[in-house]
Amino acid sequence: MPRLYSAPEHRALYSGLIPLHVLYHASKEPIFGLEMIEELRRHGYRLSPGRMYPLLHGMERKGLLKSAETTAGRNRRRVYRATPAGRAALSVAKERVQELFSELFEDVISAAAKGASRRRRG
């Protein structure tokens, strides 16, 4: 697992992917803050509640997420879902990220294509 959090001076290079990751999961199913903190940790990101909850609230203010309070037994939890505007924004972002990543990984893609071509001929 990459240790992205170990290089704070490079955080700005990938921090924009965090809201996209949140939006992606919120478009699939309802999410809550602690769940997303744990999900992002599995990918090497360390976010505190002091960063996650303002992110969720900001995305809700921008109309990308909508929240509702749920109750399970004695536990109350605020869950977030992607709005139609959030889903549309995610769709556009996925296209743009794919385009950028295609350029960023063009050498890897080219090498993989050459390797596949050699295997087919051999």
Report DSSP state, residue 73.
T
Domain hosting 43: range is 4-121
Distance separating alpha carbons of residues 107 and 22, to the nearest angstrom: 29
CATH code for position 24 = 1.10.10.10
Report DSSP state, residue 10.
G
Share the mean pLDDT of the chain: 86
pTM as predicted = 0.77
pLDDT of residue 4: 46
pLDDT tens digit sequence for 15-32 = 788 999 999 999 999 999
DSSP H or E segment with residue 62: none
pLDDT of residue 7: 57
pLDDT of residue 116: 66
Domain count across the chain: 1
